[in-house]
Structure 1
Amino acid sequence: MAAYKSKTLATWVALLVGSLGLHRFYLYGFKDRLGWFYCIPTFLGLHGIQRVQDYGLDDHLSWALIPLLGLMVAQAMLAAILYGLTPDERWDARHNPGQPVHATRWAPVLGVITALLIGAGVLMATIAFSGQRYFEYQVEEAKKISQ
């Protein structure tokens, strides 16, 4: 019999470290290829933040890398929301087949609320950062052409 997979724990793992794919490792094991893929864009986004600290906001490579981190955090929040809102019967049928249904309480709901707050903020910030950098770049190019 497979180990019990808690909906509450999966929700909170996705919320706290989902951008690294740890929620997928919890649910599907370390052989999950998609879980390993999560690390690449997350670390590239963190590298973009480091580049901004080293080279300033004019570093064009960081403009491309930082949104990757925002998107990975946003997708982790989406995973937390999906896990937390999955009905207990469906969760146990998918992840705990053959075991009795375990009723969850408020912990997954609190995780969903937190994920909504964080995910919305991160997604809006990612869109704003990308848009601002794009339009500033366009203004710089227009100035170069007009000179």
Structure 2
Amino acid sequence: MPTPHKNKTLATLLAFLLGGAGLHRFYLRGKNDTWGWLHVAAAAAVGLVMAAAPRADIYFKLLPLIVSVLIGFLEALVLGLMSDEKWDAAFNAGSGRRSEARWPLAIILVSTLMVGAGGLIAAIARLFDLLYTGGAYG
């Protein structure tokens, strides 16, 4: 029985939009994917940090989720920029179909780069503000 065909554009879109929840990992590798469950665990970690340090800055409370989302953006770029041949060898070996990336993938990649780079710069700026000035600029 052939394995189901995995769509590279859909996987990249899932990583871009819902990468912080690890849904792209579950789409590609199933429910037994350890890294996918680590993305889910980031949300639980936010709850633990909020319970353990209720007076901490919200940035530190959300830091596990912020890191998970940024990793999701990176994974979207890695998946989307993978060649179709390498993609098929990794995820569609038994499907009997070949992947052909089209222009929507390029739009998703450009959007991922814009939002991901902006998010990374904002996270670094806020972290340095909190660590070096105690949050004096926000």
Distance 1:67 1:137 in 2: 16
Counterparts in 2 of 1:118-129, with a 5 A limit? 118-129=115-126
2:129 counterpart residue number: 132
Q: Secondary structure at the match of 2:134?
A: helix
- What is the distance in 1 between the residues matched to 2:47 and 2:111? 22
1:70 counterpart = 2:66: yes
Task: Give me the TM-score of the superposition, normalised by structure 1.
Answer: 0.78
Q: Which has the larger radius of gyration?
A: 1
1:67/1:4 CA distance change after superposition, 3 Å: same
Aligned to 2:110, which of 109, 113, 125?
Answer: 113
Question: Given the superposition, is the C-alpha separation of residues 46 and 112 from structure 1 closer, same or farther in structure 2, using an over 3 Å criterion?
Answer: farther
Mapped to 1, the partners of 2:47 and 2:114 lie a distance apart of 21
Q: Which of structures 1 and 2 has the larger relative contact order (alpha carbons within 8 angstroms, sep 6+)?
A: 2
Measure the CA separation in 2 of the matches of 1:132 and 1:116. 24
Counterpart of 1:23? Answer: 24
**Structure 1 residue 93 and structure 2 residue 89: aligned?**
yes
| Larger relative helix fraction | 1
| Aligned residue pairs, count | 132
Q: Which runs of 5+ in 2 are unaligned?
A: none
Question: Hey, what's the Cα distance between the residues in 1 that align with 2:58 and 2:119?
Answer: 17
Task: Assess if the C-alpha contact under 8 Å between 1:7 and 1:84 holds in 2.
Answer: yes
1:60 aligns with 2:56: yes
Structure 1: 5+ residue runs without aligned partners? 140-147
Paired-residue identity, %:
33
